[in-house]
Amino acid sequence: MLPALNPQDFELTIEQKFTLFRYTEEIKEMPLYMLRQSFLELAGLLMIKDNLIRALIRESG
């Protein structure tokens, strides 16, 4: 069974907000080809993360 989630679990921490701000400033200077490449890499990593979470849930149940 999964633990109960709180509304705060869906919010960014102060550190995460700061990191997101830094990324926002950083990408303003990036060429478009680098942004596309980074986006595709990030999308793949998020898919892997989803697969790992599913596997952990499957193994715990």
- What is the per-residue pLDDT across 2-55, written as a single tens digit (0 to 9) for each? 678 898 989 999 999 999 999 999 999 999 999 999 999 999 999 999 999 999
Which range marks the domain in which residue 50 is found?
Answer: 31-61
Residue 43 lies in a domain: yes
Residue 49 lies in a domain: yes
If phi > 0 it is left, if psi is from -120 to 50 it is alpha, else beta; for residue 40 that is: alpha
Q: How confident is the model at residue 1 (pLDDT cuts 50, 70, 90)?
A: low
Q: Quick one: pLDDT at residue 2?
A: 64
Residue 61 lies in a domain: yes
Residue 25 lies in a domain: no
Whether residue 56 has pLDDT greater than 80 = yes
Residue 12 lies in a domain: no
Closest CA to 14 of 22, 26, 6: 22
Residue 16 lies in a domain: no
Decide: 20 and 12 in contact? Cβ < 8 Å.
yes
Overall number of domains in the chain: 1
pTM of the complete model: 0.70
Residue 17 lies in a domain: no
